[in-house]
A and B are shown apart, each in its own frame.
Chain A
Amino acid sequence: MNLNNEESQYSDVVKTLKGLQKVSAPSNFEADLIRSINSGKFEKKERSFWATFLLPSRLIPSAGIAVAAIAVLFLVNTGNPGIEENPLLFPPRVREDVVASKEVPPPQKTKVEEVNPEAKNKINKESVPPPNVSKNNSAYALNEPTSQDSDNSTLGITITGPNAFTTPSNQSMVSFSNGYPINRNGLNYMQRPLTREERAQLELLKKQLIEMMKELNK
């Protein structure tokens, strides 16, 4: 419906309202006003920073938010029991799934080339086997030249697989040739994150191993 039509529809109301008696201010209005202005009672009181900060209108919401945040943190922490454990007070976890339970394939004799011949000599000196350890069954025989690797004089490191350790098929036990058997219980080790250098070293070794494998396959 058009608004103008509506206005005519309510003409009686409009007429009644226009006929209302006008209300006037009291006679002392101006005197009171001047008095109020001169007394300065309308002036706003300056609040200090702390008075403003501690106003209930500001303090209550912020306190409420803080309490809610603390409650949420408490609930979240309570629900996660792992955080309660202090890693320094607990022994390292035993990774039993990693312990070899089947026969380890016999490692092949591998050769690693070494660029620096001086380093080769150094390694060879360090890895001299003790006199009471047999040459055939020794971990120290790693760098000892055998009939297989004697052909290549550039090799710096020699890993002699079958001589390094024995792997009985009926036991999940690995024993080194120096007489220190390592059984399943002894294989508990701690997981620890590697540093960047260690990781880089590991990557390098991995590459070298891959290259070696490739060469062997050739």
Chain B
Amino acid sequence: MTDKNFNDLNDEELILEFQRNNTERAFEILVQRYKNPLTNFVFRYLGDYEACVDVVQETMIKVYRYKDTYQSIAKFSTWIYTIAGNLAKTELQRRKRRSFLSINAYGKDEDETYEIPDENYRPDDITDSGIKDEIIQKAFLKVSESYRKAVILRDIQEMSYEEIAEIMGITVGTVKSRINRGRAQLQKLLKHIHNE
């Protein structure tokens, strides 16, 4: 199968191709398709770009490694968003613990490695155009985790209620309720922006 043909395949066909024939090209196309949506989703959830990139990398590695656990009855997007959401949640919990413990342990770790910073656009950089984004992002982080996730998936990732319900493992009614509660919290937090 040529490269052009692979690009014509949908997500489910690509993952099946990767499962059956271990075609790495199919996996690469899936990575190309999902790296940005997942980065956007995880960044809005975590609020930390570096951590978000790590989580998305880990998500892709999990897809690569556990490709056989995917079942064609589910949508690929639902599966990959579920993995990313779970990893992001774990990362959030880890960060909370670390922030609590690292106050006294700062600078003691000798094995710390340094990475060359990426010079591309980073949303957490404070620029004139990004001030509003930053305020919204800070407000987002104040919203309850479960509400935040539902709101991101609905209003930023523009997913259907059914997909969100499947990703979060809850009913559609609960999804709607959480979205509205999250929006209500955001409205309170962003009142000054809306009044301008």
Complex formed: what's the CA distance from A16 to B155 in Å?
A: 9
Q: Name B65's closest neighbour in chain A (CB-CB).
A: A42
A33 at the interface (CB under 8 A from B): yes
Near B by CB (< 8 A), chain A positions 14-37 give: 14, 16-18, 20-30, 32-33, 36-37
In this assembly, does B76 line the interface, its C-beta being within 8 Å of a C-beta of chain A?
no
> What's the least CB distance linking B47 to chain A, in Å?
11
Q: Does B186 lie within 8 Å of A25, measured CB to CB? A: no
Chain A residues with CB below 8 A from B130, complex form: 21
- B156:A10 contact, CB within 8 angstroms: no
The answer on a CB contact under 8 Å between A22 and B31 is no
User: B61 on the interface (CB 8 Å rule)?
Assistant: yes
B43 to A: closest C-beta gap in Å: 4
Note all chain B residues with C-beta closer than 8 A to A16: 136, 190, 193-194
Q: Is the CB of A29 within 8 A of B56?
A: yes
Number of interface residues of B (CB under 8 A): 41
State which size class the interface on A falls in: 20 to 34
Q: Which residues of B contact A24 (CB under 8 A)?
A: 35-36, 39-40, 121
Contact A33 B187 (CB under 8 A): no
A6 at the interface (CB under 8 A from B): yes
Residues on the B chain within 8 Å of A18, using CB = 155-156, 158
Query: Dominant SS at the A interface?
Result: helix
A33→B39 contact, CB < 8 A = no
Q: Is the CB of A13 within 8 A of B186?
A: yes
Which of B46-98 touch A at CB < 8 Å? Answer: 49, 52-53, 56-58, 60-61, 64-65
Contact partners of B133 in chain A: CB under 8 A: 20-21
Inter-chain CA distance A3–B183, complex, in Å, is: 12
- Output the least CB separation between A34 and chain B (Å): 8
Within 8 A of A (CB), among B176-196: 176-177, 180, 183-184, 186-187, 190, 193-194
List which A135-170 residues lie within 8 A (CB) of chain B.
none
Contact partner of A7 (CB less than 8 A), chosen from B39, B118, B180, is B180
Asked, given contacts A21-B130, A42-B61, whether A26 binds B155 with beta carbons under 8 Å apart, the answer is no
Given the contacts A7-B180, A10-B184, A23 and B44 also touching, CB distance less than 8 Å: yes
B155 near A17 with CB under 8 A, answer yes
* Contact of B151 with A by CB under 8 A: yes
Docked-complex contact A23 and B180, CB < 8 angstroms: no
Given A30-B28, A36-B61, A42-B65; A22-B118 close (CB under 8 Å):
no
6 new A-B contacts at CB < 8 Å, known A25-B38, A36-B57, A37-B64: A3-B176, A10-B187, A16-B136, A26-B118, A30-B32, A36-B61
Q: Which residues of B contact A (CB under 8 A)?
A: 28, 31-32, 35-36, 38-40, 43-44, 49, 52-53, 56-58, 60-61, 64-65, 118, 120-121, 123, 130, 133, 136, 151, 155-156, 158, 176-177, 180, 183-184, 186-187, 190, 193-194
